[in-house]
Amino acid sequence: MNKTITNLLTSAIVLALIAPPAFSAEGSILIKNGTILTVTKGVMVKGDILVINGVIKQIGENIPAPEGIKVIDASGKYVIPGLIDSHTHIALAGTNEGSEAITPEADVGEVVNADDVSILTALSGGVTMVHTMHGSSNPIGGPNVVLKMKWGKPSEELIVHEALRTLKFALGENVKQSSRTITVGGPPPRYPQTRMGTNAIIRREMLKARVYMEEWDRYNKLKASKTPPKNLLPPRKDLRMEVLSDLLRGKIVARCHDYQATEALEFMGLAKEFGFKVQALEHTWEAYKIADELAAAKVGISVFADSWAYKMEAAEGIAYDAGYCAKKGVLVSINSDSGERIRRLFNEAGKSMKYGGLTENEALSLITINPAIQLGVEKIVGSLEVGKQGDIAIFNEHPMSAYTRCEMTIIEGDIYFDRAEYLKDREEADKKAQAPKKGGRP
Amino acid sequence: MTKRMFLVCVIMGLTAGWISAQAQPAKVIAIRGAKIIPVVGDDIEGGTIIIKDGKIEAVGKDVAIPSGAEVVEAKGLCAYPGMIDGYSFLGLQEISGVSATVDNRETGRINPQVRAIEALRYDSMHIPIARSNGITAALVAPTGGLISGQSTLIKLDGWTNREMVIKSQAAMQIEFPGIRGGRGGFGGMGRGGAVTADATRLIAELKELFKNARYYQKRKEFAAKNPAAAQPEFQETLEFILPVVRGELTVMISVHSDQDIKAAIQFVKDESLKAVFFGVEQGWKVADDLKKSNIPVIISSLYDMPPVWDDGYDSLFRNPGVLNKAGVKIAFSSVSASVAKDLPYHAAKAAAFGLDKKEALKAVTIYPAEIFGVDKIMGSLEKGKTANIVLSDGDILETRTNIKKVYIDGQETDMSNRYLELLEKFKKRG
């Protein structure tokens, strides 16, 4: 018996010694000699990052390369956390369920389209994670989803399950259908058509959801009791109310599209009235008018850098919005809301240094750790720290410079975008296209 | 004349002289100690610029400052020529989604008679924002249809639209019929042949218009010489195309795909037009043709997707560099009102993808000045040019750079703008 154990132990030790390295080639990478902008732990001028099996194992100087690992030379380049876009609509097969005002059952997580080329454009700008959202056609839209930009992988593998569950709300011109043309014989205007109605319809749904939730609680309590009443019937299942009662129970947080100070404050009022959590407000061009209220309520904002004046409610959007609010203690992220702008998200964040006086690191935070916190994934991404996932972007110049360019984008230790490789492919393709065609028809 | 009357005359004369001197002081400003980036010629460390009567009197390292000059200490700052936006909607568009505030797109397809200058909102909230980012002049263009109207070249300062004029009629804007019809997204480009057939018909229509305009011109000339001959019946469209066919007015042709660019080059040649191209997203594919044609190019906004995915994710970003290397004259544009301030960042983006940094700077200063035929008066910091000067705390194309002062025609401009007004207002909350 004893002998068997000793034998087993010995063979285990031998096995361990001769075993291949304890990492898979996939998901493991060593990036050497870059200027590392960790975002949360300062800057390392000439440092290495070791990612093993998708997770950052070590950050330091002269990390020895484990045998067989992929090594990237980042000399003269900037190594930063993969960028996070807190508000997009990319990689979806549908965005708006605008037929009705209240559609919390319409979950965009069920229509993820992993073939959307916007994933590639995102990668080409160093973006590794996005919050892709239901559109803004309804006061209560539907649940959103957080995705990693794993181009080439099936939809299910893009979804980040660790993220907070979020529900899209929308206020203002879009939901009151300000730009809609009423046509003769066309459908009648949809309720609500005013900001009053918008708030009222959300309150109505919350009151309804509260009753629904209480009815289920009553049922479950009775059912679990020692002597459940005879003929105990469950309440009617309602998919809309399911989502909203999860919101009231704190299992889902709200993300709300709004522009004006009044509607933002009133939505925060509704959240207080019904006890749900507003994780962040979207666009919120007038956030600078209510920065103190936002900071006090710990409500973040996810805003544009300067895309404004495209509609009436965006007429007082100032480029200082992000920087000013950040300095007031509001958790701010810069979003793209676009499959094109996403590839220059870093340029947009950089504008907050000029307008708002943020430092380079504060500006970079707007598209890394801050959106990570807003999405509830700050423990796994958003900065370069040991133990976090190996989501990394490499830029040729400082990412907050207008002259910079993304060179490589890595997700969980795997390269998803490599400009050098891309250029090589293009050169070869060009050569092929220019080469004289041999032969011809026999 | 009595002694007394003589005295009165002397006093009156003196007073008049004093009054006129007060009305038009020979104001001299000396900007001292700046790093001067004249764009044309070498940079000057710790140089001085003398401004007199709105013009640059002197630029250099060792320039004597005239006594009585107002001295602007610019140590640690950079002095650049004001930037020129090659294509914008400044003053024609306030809130793009509210039609009451949009004046850049006339209804109908053929509108050579409409002039941007006549609708220019001199107090647009977007102008001071662009100006305080170092942009001192812009082309303001109508858009849409086949012939969109006449663009105008303005300086970004003035109390009326007319005060802003550099060239009231800068160019006739033509949207070249093509694979992609007109501006506004790349949706149509490269898809299907039906549009192309339509394009051929539309190009024929343009040619027909120009032919008719020439005939109209001949008939007018004939009538002018022969009292017995009747004038041709007035035709608005032809009337306003006349300056184009006479070669007096440049055409700016909005054209995008490689095949359309080639067709547009041929069109310009056939019609003997003075032309500038705008857009030219696939110019890199036909850079040599463009070079040979000698037609300069206003690059469209780089804030757009590649026209077709096969062009590569970075095709818009590298296009300016390829064209510049091929010897094509390029200038950047914002194609915007609300983010016209971003003009320098388009240039920087192209620099990140292969365009030489100095060339990028030229493509927002001296090159657009040359393209619009105003390089004798602006586009660089040289003696004799209009004093359009920007003082910044760094590279003018960098996002983080702050613009400290902007001079237009030698006048220091107001740096306040809508952004700052609202910020200051709400800062008062504490």
Domains of chain A: 23-81+382-418 (2.30.40.10), 83-381 (3.20.20.140)
Residue B108: count of CB within 10 angstroms of its CB: 10
Name the nearest CA neighbour of B396 among B58, B158, B132, B51: B132
CB contacts, 8 Å: B357 with chain A? 403
Structure confidence at residue B188 (pLDDT): 41
* B397–A312 CB contact, under 8 Å: no
Residues A121, A343 contacting (CB under 8 angstroms): yes
Mean pLDDT along residues A187-193: 90
- pLDDT of A175 above 80: yes
- pLDDT of B17 above 70: no
* A292–B429 CB contact, under 8 Å: yes
CB contacts, 8 Å: A351 with chain B? 399
The rounded distance, in Å, linking the Cα atoms of B154 and B85 is: 10
CA A81 to chain centre: 14
Distances (CA, A) of A253 to A163, A244, B354: 11, 10, 44
Chain B residue set in contact with A, beta carbons under 8 Å = 94-98, 125-126, 303-305, 309, 312-314, 337-339, 341-342, 344-345, 348-349, 351-353, 357, 397-402, 418-419, 422-423, 426, 429
* A316–B422 CB contact, under 8 Å: yes
Structure confidence at residue B200 (pLDDT): 86
The rounded distance, in Å, linking the Cα atoms of B187 and B195 is: 12
**Beta strands of A212-306 (E only): which ranges?**
253-258, 278-283, 300-303
CB contacts, 8 Å: A422 with chain B? 312-313
- Which A residues in the span 219-258 are in contact with B, Cβ-Cβ below 8 Å? none
CB contacts, 8 Å: A288 with chain B? 422-423, 426
Beta bridge partners of A47: A34
Helix (H) or strand (E) holding A277: none
Structure tokens at A395: 């830029």
The rounded distance, in Å, linking the Cα atoms of A416 and A158 is: 13
- Which A residues in the span 124-153 are in contact with B, Cβ-Cβ below 8 Å? 124
CB contacts, 8 Å: A339 with chain B? 305
Structural domains for chain B: 26-82+379-413 (2.30.40.10), 83-372 (3.20.20.140)
Mean pLDDT along residues A291-319: 97
CB contacts, 8 Å: B352 with chain A? 396-397, 402-405
Residues B297, B262 contacting (CB under 8 angstroms): no
- Taking CA atoms, what residue in A is nearest to B421? A318
Query: Shortest Cα distance from A221 to chain B (angstroms)?
Result: 50
Pick B352's closest partner by Cβ from A316, A403, A422.
A403
Pick A312's closest partner by Cβ from B98, B305, B349.
B98
Cα torsion at B364, B370, B371, B377 (round to 10°)?
90
- pLDDT of A53 above 80: yes
What percent of chain A stands above pLDDT 70?
A: 94
Structure confidence at residue B189 (pLDDT): 44
Residue with token string 């192209």: B350
pLDDT tens digits along B396-415: 999 999 999 999 999 999 99
What helix, strand, coil percent values describe chain A, rounded to 5? 35, 20, 45
Pick B313's closest partner by Cβ from A121, A319, A347.
A121
Structure confidence at residue A6 (pLDDT): 65
| Residue B420 CA neighbour count, 13 Å, CB half | 10
CB contacts, 8 Å: B343 with chain A? none
Structure confidence at residue A181 (pLDDT): 76
Quick one: pLDDT band at residue B100, thresholds 50, 70, 90? Answer: very high
Query: Shortest Cα distance from A183 to chain B (angstroms)?
Result: 18
Longest dimension (CA), chain A: 92
Amino acid present at A393? A
- pLDDT of A268 above 60: yes
Mean pLDDT along residues A168-192: 89
Structure confidence at residue A15 (pLDDT): 53
- pLDDT of B14 above 60: no
Q: Is A296 on the interface with B (CB under 8 A)?
A: no
The rounded distance, in Å, linking the Cα atoms of A245 and A239 is: 10
Structure confidence at residue B192 (pLDDT): 34
Interface mutation vs chain B, best among A304, A318, A366, most B CBs within 10 Å: A318
Structure confidence at residue A76 (pLDDT): 98
Pick B94's closest partner by Cβ from A309, A397, A403.
A309
The rounded distance, in Å, linking the Cα atoms of B132 and B341 is: 8
* B419–A318 CB contact, under 8 Å: yes
Name the nearest CA neighbour of A122 among A393, A403, A385: A393
Beta bridge partners of B292: none
For chain B, the three-class secondary structure string (H helix, E strand, C coil) is CCHHHHHHHHHHHHHHHHHHHHHCCCCEEEEEEEEECCCCCCCEEEEEEEEECCEEEEEECCCCCCCCCEEEECCCCEEEECEEEEEECCCCECCCCCHHHECCCCCCCECCCCEHHHHCCCCCCHHHHHHCCCEEEEEECCCCCCEEEEEEEEECCCCCCHHHEEEEEEEEEEECCCCCCCCCCCCCCCCCCHHHHHHHHHHHHHHHHHHHHHHHHHHHHHHHHCCCCCCCCCCHHHHHHHHHHCCCCEEEEEECCHHHHHHHHHHHHHCCCCEEEEECCCHHHHHHHHHHHCCCEEECCCCCCCCCHHHCCCHHHHHHHHHHHCCCCEECCCCCCCCHHHHHHHHHHHHHCCCCHHHHHHCCCHHHHHHCCCCCCCCCCCCCCECCEEEECCCCCCCCCCEEEEEECCEECCCCCHHHHHHHHHHCCC
CB contacts, 8 Å: A349 with chain B? none
Name the nearest CA neighbour of B172 among B206, B201, B130, B202: B206
Query: Shortest Cα distance from B402 to chain A (angstroms)?
Result: 6
Q: Which position has the higher pLDDT, B372 or B10?
A: B372
Which range has highest mean pLDDT (A3-12, A428-437, B118-127)?
B118-127
Pick B313's closest partner by Cβ from A120, A315, A400.
A120
- pLDDT of B426 above 80: yes
Mean pLDDT of chain A: 94
Structure confidence at residue B260 (pLDDT): 92
Query: Shortest Cα distance from A313 to chain B (angstroms)?
Result: 10
pLDDT tens digits along B355-380: 999 999 999 999 999 999 999 999 99
- Which A residues in the span 349-388 are in contact with B, Cβ-Cβ below 8 Å? 350-351, 353-355, 360
Structure confidence at residue B12 (pLDDT): 55
pLDDT tens digits along B284-327: 999 999 999 999 999 999 999 988 888 999 999 999 999 999 99
The rounded distance, in Å, linking the Cα atoms of B338 and A41 is: 37
CB contacts, 8 Å: B397 with chain A? 402-403
Structure tokens at A299: 């409500």
Quick one: pLDDT band at residue B2, thresholds 50, 70, 90? Answer: low
pLDDT tens digits along B65-82: 999 999 999 999 999 999
* B426–A288 CB contact, under 8 Å: yes
Distances (CA, A) of B179 to A405, B189, B224: 31, 5, 43
Query: Shortest Cα distance from B210 to chain A (angstroms)?
Result: 37
Name the nearest CA neighbour of B213 among B180, B249, B177: B249
The rounded distance, in Å, linking the Cα atoms of B55 and B194 is: 54
The B135-140 sheet, strands edge to edge: B83-88, B135-140, B147-155, B165-175, B250-255, B275-279, B297-299, B330-331
The rounded distance, in Å, linking the Cα atoms of A426 and B90 is: 38
Q: Is A432 on the interface with B (CB under 8 A)?
A: no
CB contacts, 8 Å: B305 with chain A? 121, 339-340
Q: Is A404 on the interface with B (CB under 8 A)?
A: yes
The rounded distance, in Å, linking the Cα atoms of B403 and A250 is: 47
Structure tokens at B244: 């184009």
pLDDT tens digits along A320-375: 999 999 999 999 999 999 999 999 999 999 999 999 999 999 999 999 999 999 99
* B304–A340 CB contact, under 8 Å: yes
CB contacts, 8 Å: A311 with chain B? 95-98
- pLDDT of B19 above 90: no
Helix (H) or strand (E) holding A44: strand A43-52
Query: Shortest Cα distance from A359 to chain B (angstroms)?
Result: 10
**Weakest-pLDDT range from A5-9, B63-67, B338-342:** A5-9
- pLDDT of B13 above 60: no
Q: Locate all alpha helices (DSSP H) within A227-260, ordered by sequence.
A: 239-248
Mean pLDDT along residues A233-249: 97
Structure confidence at residue A186 (pLDDT): 82
Residues A30, A63 contacting (CB under 8 angstroms): yes
Residue with token string 């170092």: B134
* B419–A288 CB contact, under 8 Å: no
pLDDT tens digits along B144-168: 999 999 999 999 999 999 999 999 9
CB contacts, 8 Å: B97 with chain A? 179, 310-312
- pLDDT of A10 above 80: no
Residues 6+ apart with CB under 8 A from B212: B235, B238
pLDDT tens digits along A207-240: 999 999 999 999 999 999 999 999 999 999 999 9
The rounded distance, in Å, linking the Cα atoms of A38 and A361 is: 9
* A347–B399 CB contact, under 8 Å: yes
The rounded distance, in Å, linking the Cα atoms of A242 and A240 is: 5
ipTM above 0.85, yes or no: yes
Structure confidence at residue B196 (pLDDT): 61
* B423–A320 CB contact, under 8 Å: yes
The rounded distance, in Å, linking the Cα atoms of B252 and B368 is: 13
The rounded distance, in Å, linking the Cα atoms of A127 and A148 is: 9
Residue with token string 């730009």: A179
pLDDT tens digits along B166-214: 999 999 999 998 865 433 344 444 433 335 667 888 899 999 999 999 9
**Weakest-pLDDT range from A21-25, A344-348, A410-414, B42-46:** A21-25
